[in-house]
Structure 1
Amino acid sequence: MEAIISSAIAVLGTLLGAGITLSFQQRTATKGHQFARAERLRQERLDAYSTYAGSLINYRRCLVHLWFCLHEQPPPEGPDEVRIRAYDLRSSAQEALFRAQMLTDDVRLSRDAEEVLAKVTALYKIDTREELDDQRNDTRDAIRRLVMTAKRHL
């Protein structure tokens, strides 16, 4: 009888040990999956935010160039060519904006990103060189602030 009880205790101990081990393995695997998912999201956000900032910079540069084509000494290329390039860059910036917005949970960051695009878009519609210089500085600073805000979400 003692042998049976002893065997039953051994079996119960083994089952209990296996159950505890399984529980720890599941918990470890879950934490590993959560970490991997969080890291993947962080990388996707980093890519989306940096792509958007780069798109804004390129679009901004093109619009400043377009302003000079329209208001000051025109370069060898015509304003129509620059305008077409600006439209393409705006489309790229909008696509990058949408991707960044899909990856962020922060409504304010999403709204700020849209506002920066609107500020950049208004650049070539300015009348004077002084206003252009002010808006160039303002849009540059707005892009920097957006990057710093996005950085906190990584």
Structure 2
Amino acid sequence: MAGVLSALIAVLGTLLGVLVTQAFQRRAAERDQVFATQQQLRAERMGVYSDFAGAVTEFRRGQHDRWHRKDEDPDGSAYFEARVEAYRLRGVALHALFRVQLVASSQGVIDAAREAYELTATMHKASDKTEVSLLGDQARDAVEHFVQIASSDVR
């Protein structure tokens, strides 16, 4: 009888050990999955935010070029080409803005991105060199503000 009781206790102890080990392994696997997902989202946000900042910076450069080519010769081919390039860069920047809207975790990041895009989009409407320079500076500052806010979203 003592041998049966000892065997029963050993079997129950083994089963209890298996159940406890399985519970700990399940929790560890869930934590690993959550961590991997967070890291993947962080990397995605880093890429999207970086791409947006680069796209708006290029769009800003294109808007400067468009304005200066128009100021030099509004009927010239250089202005036409600069305008076409500005339209292309606008599309790239808008696409990057949409991606920001898809991955951002806060409305503040989206608002900062939208402001940077909109300020850049209006640069070509400047009436003189001083105004285009001022609008360009505002757009650059808005991109820097976006980067500052977005950096807290990837930490």
| Runs of 4+ with deviation above 2 angstroms | none
TM (normalized to structure 2)?
0.94
2:66 corresponding residue in structure 1: 66
CA distance in 1, matches of 2:77, 2:48: 32
1:37 corresponding residue in structure 2: 37
CA distance in 1, matches of 2:30, 2:77: 58
Q: CA deviation at 1:27?
A: 0.7
* Contact 2:59–2:90 under 8 Å retained in 1: yes
Query: Could you tell me which amino acid in structure 1 is paired with residue 17 of structure 2?
Result: G
CA distance in 2, matches of 1:18, 1:32: 21
2:120 corresponding residue in structure 1: 120
Q: Deviations over 1:98-136 (max 9, x none)?
A: 111100120121122112111000001100111112111
1:89 corresponding residue in structure 2: 89
Unaligned runs of at least 5 residues, structure 2: none
Q: CA deviation at 1:77?
A: 5.4
Q: Deviations over 1:49-80 (max 9, x none)?
A: 00000000000000000110011378x95111
1:52 corresponding residue in structure 2: 52
Query: Could you tell me which amino acid in structure 1 is paired with residue 52 of structure 2?
Result: Y
CA distance in 2, matches of 1:27, 1:38: 17
Percent identical among aligned pairs is 34
Unaligned runs of at least 5 residues, structure 1: none
Written as runs of structure 1 = structure 2, the 5 A alignment for 1:72-111 is: 72=72, 78-111=78-111
Quote the RMSD (CA, aligned, Å): 1.4
